[in-house]
């Protein structure tokens, strides 16, 4: 029996709208999860994150285990208390950052050994240690199995080897996690852009049994069209009765197209990263507030979004803040971008409920 009830309330083709019930509150789906890498959604308070519409946030195992350490977070009451967030938290397993940021010494059957990007100190991360950090020390509501990152492009043999190691690590993660009240564990489908590998990965995960299922190994350079081609079969290969989570995605067009193929959950650093670099997201694409064209523009970014950053400040003022290097510019643009993403998800849910997702897809620009 899955840890958290997942209720599908409406469908439109393969798209689903519903809710994931957690002990810390319901999460309407499709859902976008702001990324709180080091216990903070960059530039924003938790009150701003909540006001933007977020109901679940993501924490990062790799960064928190290195600084301030997961043990310290536990002593201080767990990640929810530490960061001041009373809603559900999903933590990644640390695998992606270990293999992209850390200096990897070796990936072996038992664990991945790496050097910290902070000070060069040596660490080992196994499936069991990842679960200990996420579930026991940080106290995450949703934990992820440890998996193996395969870059792009990848040949089929290497992708298959990485997928099968991820599957074995998934089984070990499940065994370490056990059966828990109030916490859930997601498995991660891998296989790069190879359909046979994705289907094999899905079956291996289903055989083990997880509370939800993620699609990993995309948004690593393959491009929008290739990603959609994988999602044409990858999402449907996972159980329909459980939530499906596309990791690390993405731009508004990526999200809308993934939803149309049956995906329910998303996370990405793009809203806050763009905001820190003078870029605002809109339904028609990104807006570069550094551009001199906005110097005399009195219009807000988007008056239809119920966020002060979107509604109450002119583009001229935001342009001034960005050009002046003022921290407030980064705060306001990050807040707007997150509110835009949450507004986008609400619009997607409404479109699914009304059977108009196909028309809505045509309104969303890629950027």
Active site residues per annotation: 92, 267
Q: Which residues of 133-160 are buried (b: 16+ CB within 10 A; e: fewer)?
A: bbbbbbbbbbbbbbbbbbeeebeeeebb
Q: How far apart, in whole angstroms, are the C-alpha atoms of residue 107 and residue 34?
A: 29
Report the alpha-carbon distance of residue 338 to residue 275 in Å, rounded.
9
| Cα–Cα dist 157/161, whole Å | 6
Residues ≥6 apart with Cβ < 8 Å to 203:
none
Beta carbons within 10 angstroms of residue 296's beta carbon: 10
Non-local (6+) Cβ contacts of 77 within 8 A are: none
- Torsion 60-139-272-342 (CA) sign: positive
Beta pairing partners, 106:
113
Hunting for tokens 């938290």 — which residue is that? 89
The CA-based angle 212-216-219, given to 5 degrees, is 135
Name 23's Cβ contacts closer than 8 Å, sequence gap at least 6: 141, 182
* Whether 114 contacts 104, CB under 8 Å: yes
- The 10 Å Cβ neighbour count of residue 202 is 24
Asked whether 4 and 251 are in contact (CB, 8 A), the reply is no
Radius of gyration, CA atoms only, the chain: 20
Q: Tell me 91's DSSP state.
A: E
- Containing 281, the helix (H) or strand (E) segment is strand 279-282
DSSP state of 67: T
Q: Which residues pair with 8 in a beta bridge?
A: 18
């Amino acid at each position: 029996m899955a840890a958290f009830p997942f209720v599908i309330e409406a469908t439109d083709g393969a798209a689903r709208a519903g809710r994931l019930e957690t002990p810390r509150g319901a999460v309407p789906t499709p859902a976008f999860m702001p990324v709180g890498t080091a216990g903070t959604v960059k530039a924003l308070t938790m009150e701003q994150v909540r006001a933007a519409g977020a109901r679940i946030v993501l924490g990062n195992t790799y960064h928190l285990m290195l600084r301030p350490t997961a043990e310290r977070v536990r002593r201080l009451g767990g990640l929810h208390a530490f960061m001041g967030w009373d809603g559900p938290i999903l933590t990644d397993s640390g695998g992606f950052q270990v293999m992209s940021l850390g200096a990897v010494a070796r990936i072996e059957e038992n664990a991945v050994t790496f050097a910290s990007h902070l000070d060069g100190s040596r660490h080992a991360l196994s499936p069991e240690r990842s679960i200990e950090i996420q579930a026991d020390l940080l106290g995450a509501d949703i934990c992820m199995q440890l998996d193996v990152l395969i870059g792009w492009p990848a040949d089929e043999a290497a992708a298959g080897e990485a997928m099968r190691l991820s599957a074995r690590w998934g089984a070990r993660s499940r065994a370490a996690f056990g059966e828990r009240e109030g916490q859930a564990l997601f498995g991660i489908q891998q296989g790069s852009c190879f359909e046979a590998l994705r289907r094999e990965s899905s079956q291996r995960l289903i055989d083990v049994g997880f509370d939800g299922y993620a699609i990993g190994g995309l948004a690593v350079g393959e491009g929008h069209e290739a990603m959609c081609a994988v999602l044409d079969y990858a999402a449907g290969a996972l159980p329909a009765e459980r939530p499906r989570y596309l990791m690390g995605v993405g731009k508004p067009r990526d999200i809308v197209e993934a939803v149309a193929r049956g995906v329910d959950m998303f996370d990405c650093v793009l809203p806050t990263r763009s905001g820190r670099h003078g870029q605002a997201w809109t339904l028609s694409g990104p807006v570069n507030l550094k551009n001199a064209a906005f110097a005399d523009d009195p219009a807000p970014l988007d008056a239809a979004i119920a966020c002060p950053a979107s509604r109450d400040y002119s583009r001229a003022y935001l342009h001034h803040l960005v050009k002046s290097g003022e921290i407030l510019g980064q705060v306001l643009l990050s807040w707007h971008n997150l509110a835009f993403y949450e507004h986008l998800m609400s619009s997607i849910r409404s479109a699914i409920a009304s059977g108009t997702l196909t028309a809505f897809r045509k309104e969303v620009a890629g950027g």
